[in-house]
Amino acid sequence: MKKVDKLLRIADRTKSLIDRTPRSKRKGEKFNRQMTQNINEYKRIREKKGLLDRILRRINK
């Protein structure tokens, strides 16, 4: 369950980053760098497709 918790934390962080950033700044370097970090971290610890579904459900709430 530890990996799931970590993935959900990344999902929350990604969602809050998207929510915090005004639409006009979403193409900015800083935003892209943070998003890339989140995505790479997620890819590193993802194991099963089921985890991906949970993350997407959490993001799209």
Lowest-confidence segment of 1-5, 31-35, 39-43, 45-49 by average pLDDT: 45-49
Q: How many domains does the chain have?
A: 1
Q: Which residue has the tokens 């530890």?
A: 2
Q: Which two tokens mark 32?
A: 């892209």
Whether 48 shows a pLDDT value over 60: the answer reads no
Q: What is the mean pLDDT of the chain?
A: 79
In one letter, which amino acid is 2?
K
The residue segments making up the domain with residue 55 are: 2-59
Global pTM reads: 0.53
DSSP 8-state secondary structure symbol assigned to residue 28: S
